[in-house]
Amino acid sequence: MPELPEVEVTRRSFAERIAGAKVRQAVMGKPLRWALGADPAVLQGQAVHGVDRRGKYLLVRLDSGVLLVHLGMSGSLQFAPDLPPAGPHDHFELHTDRGVLRLHDPRRFGAVVLVPDLADARARKLLDGLGVEPLEAGFDPAQFHRALQARRAAIKQVLLAGDIVVGVGNIYASEALFMAAIRPTVRADRISRPRAARLHGAIVEVLNKAVALGGSTLRDFSSAEGQTGHFQLDALVYGRAGEPCRRCGTDIRQIRQGQRSTFFCPACQKP
């Protein structure tokens, strides 16, 4: 599933190029996870003012409204002056005078939703439960620690929930916990202030590194320019079960938490 770094990489790969474009038409394919919520014809003639991000949602700002775009489990965006004819897994196209923005989504868990503004009930339903953005100044170590003190679940599960800090997906949670030397099974409310501060710093470092490396491509993720990510090649624990820890040489272990694979070093990461 594309996580925050992949979505941010996608945003950066087309945001400047589409800003100022005029929409010629919008084309819908097979139904997605949520309906557009309007006749696609209302998009014709509107200008694209910019592309922002909230969590894993891209916010395409128009003259009259905002398109909320979610890549779902396996979706990706392309933006180019010319694209080949749409295939069976291409479910939304925004044709502009600067190119075509196309959502490719084999599993159709993605979404494109048009709302008048972010105060709209549909936008609030999707966005209001999201935690603090980890790559912005509002991600404060002291507040992060206080929020953890209210949770009795395992710290990795708390990170994946996304309502304290958004966008720390499965790969990045395993990596940040390793960098902070915290066992993924530790209860969140038992993490001390100093350890929470280390985890805070690790989250920021891991996500920034992931964005710089173009995200992670485990299956078919690519940016809107068709570029794959390389973070997974530098992972310290994720996907390395049975291999020696790059710090201490102990074999990396793999466990299951909430139907997701977790990787950690039993020597470096303390309970």
8 noted as active-site residue: no
**DSSP 8-state symbol, 209:** H
195 noted as active-site residue: no
Closest by CA to 35, choosing from 102, 92, 111, 101, is 111
Choice among 33, 54, 260, 266 that is catalytic = 260
Q: Is 71 exposed, middle or buried (0-12, 13-18, 19+ CB in 10 A)?
A: buried
Q: Are 149 and 236 in contact (CB under 8 A)?
A: no
**DSSP 8-state symbol, 187:** B
Contact residues for 92 (Cβ-Cβ < 8 A; gap 6+): 26, 27, 28, 29, 32, 102, 103, 112
3 noted as active-site residue: yes
Task: Please give the Cα distance from 95 to 23 (Å, whole number).
Answer: 6
Strand order of the β-sheet with 23-28 is 23-28, 90-96, 99-104, 76-80
Query: Tokens 């087309």 belong to which residue?
Result: 14
Choice among 11, 56, 156, 198 that is catalytic = 56
56 noted as active-site residue: yes
Choice among 2, 5, 134, 184 that is catalytic = 2
Q: Are 180 and 194 in contact (CB under 8 A)?
A: no
Q: What is the DSSP track for 19-70?
A: TTPBEEEEEE-S--SS--SS-GGGGTTPBEEEEEEETTEEEEEETTEEEEEE
Q: Which residues are catalytic?
A: 2-3, 56, 260
